Structure 1
Amino acid sequence: MNDERTISGQTTMIWQDQARSVVRPIVRVMVIFSVGMSAALFLVWATSCSDDDWLLLRREPLAALVLAACDAWPFFAGSFVVVLVMLVGWYARGFSRVPEANRRIHYEATKHGLTTRDAANFALTVPWTSVVRVYNSDHTMQMVLVAGASRLVFWRAFATEDRAQVLNWARQVKETEPQPTRGS
């Protein structure tokens, strides 16, 4: 295939696209929230427990943790649900405020990078050299960038025969770069 060509595609984002793009951030926040909330609830339990509970904690730590979990699970579960609903609502509100015209995305892929442009002419160019990792599925290609951000490409925007070329461009940069040696 000719590596000098430009592959173009266009699609309109829908609610399913928004859901696919926010699953990872929501899961990441919920894991961090769960760990933090577990530690906080255990500390609250530990500072408010009786002398008998402290003795139980020293003699049978696992039984004491089960006791703490039994005391705190309703608050933990309620807080988890509230934070999850707030996050989903936040992302849904943000997506619903994007005008329909700005949901139309135009892609231009070359051997140097990918440019994403919306109807308001806001453009974002991602050079392939900044792509650290690529996750490919039937619907999307997720690119993890050097800065830690990630970008989604919706495959339905491209013709079937062009998808393989775009995926090759996204993956080839990291495969052809020399791997650093130890001590350098």
Structure 2
Amino acid sequence: MQTGSPKIIGSIDLTFRDDLSFLASRLPRFCLTTYGTGLAILFGIWVAISPATYWPYMREYPLWGVERFFSDMWLSAAIAVVGIPLLILAIHALQWRRFPAQNKAITYTVDTTGVLTTDAAGAGLNMPWSMVRRARRTRSLFLMQLTTGAWRYLPMRAFATADHDRLWDLIQAGSKAGTAAAASA
């Protein structure tokens, strides 16, 4: 971190609710991608194993084939719509429980060079703005997508309410600089 720059420092003991807020911001897109991919794969398998008597109808009336597919697979699709988010939530809850408490006590230091995240166990992560592709603000989180495609978040409650706008300005300026750096590379 650069000395002399205006720093914003926030500390928090992360809770499962913070993590759920982050998960909720990413879950709809993930589920839609999973459903779309899964349906395409299932449709391909269904076409490959469908009886030879279906083929003339599917060639002449392609929508008949799609309608027939959904009439055969509606139960699987319904189970997936409910099951995939529940499975993701269960796995996420188990992973959160295994995460040590000292790694949940976080201090964030944000300045013009990036974000430094440290925990009570002594681990640290320095994320320069050049790594941030884009940023988004929700009611409870600042979300940042990195150039690697991964997402990082800063819970708003870790910072003083008076610092939220200044922090968002730093994140936006940093993400613009990161986007420009990625474009020139």
What are the residue-to-residue correspondences of 1:92-131 with 2, within 5 Å? 92-131=93-132
| Aligned partners of 1:37 and 1:76 also within 8 Å | no
Is residue 160 of structure 2 the alignment partner of residue 159 of structure 1? yes
Q: What count of residue pairs does the alignment treat as equivalent?
A: 179
- Distance (whole Å) between structure 2 residues aligned to residue 101 and residue 177 of structure 1: 31
Please give the root-mean-square deviation of Cα atoms over the aligned residues, in Å.
2.6
Using the aligned pairs only, state the percent identity.
Answer: 24
| C-alpha spacing 1:179/1:41, structure 2 compared with 1 (3 Å) | closer
| C-alpha spacing 1:172/1:33, structure 2 compared with 1 (3 Å) | closer
Please identify the structure whose Cα radius of gyration is greater.
1
Alpha-carbon offset, residue 176 of structure 1:
6.3
Alpha-carbon offset, residue 25 of structure 1:
4.7
| Aligned partners of 1:128 and 1:169 also within 8 Å | no
Alpha-carbon offset, residue 16 of structure 1:
1.6
| Aligned partners of 1:10 and 1:104 also within 8 Å | yes
Unaligned runs of 5+ in 1: none
Relative to the length of structure 1, the TM-score reads 0.83
What are the residue-to-residue correspondences of 1:80-91 with 2, within 5 Å? 80-91=81-92
Is residue 138 of structure 2 the alignment partner of residue 137 of structure 1? yes
Corresponding residue of 1:45:
46
- Distance (whole Å) between structure 2 residues aligned to residue 176 and residue 41 of structure 1: 43
What are the residue-to-residue correspondences of 1:26-41 with 2, within 5 Å? 26-41=27-42
- Distance (whole Å) between structure 2 residues aligned to residue 175 and residue 36 of structure 1: 32
Corresponding residue of 1:66:
67
Alpha-carbon offset, residue 173 of structure 1:
3.7
1:91 aligned partner, one-letter code = H
Corresponding residue of 2:58:
57
- Distance (whole Å) between structure 2 residues aligned to residue 122 and residue 177 of structure 1: 24
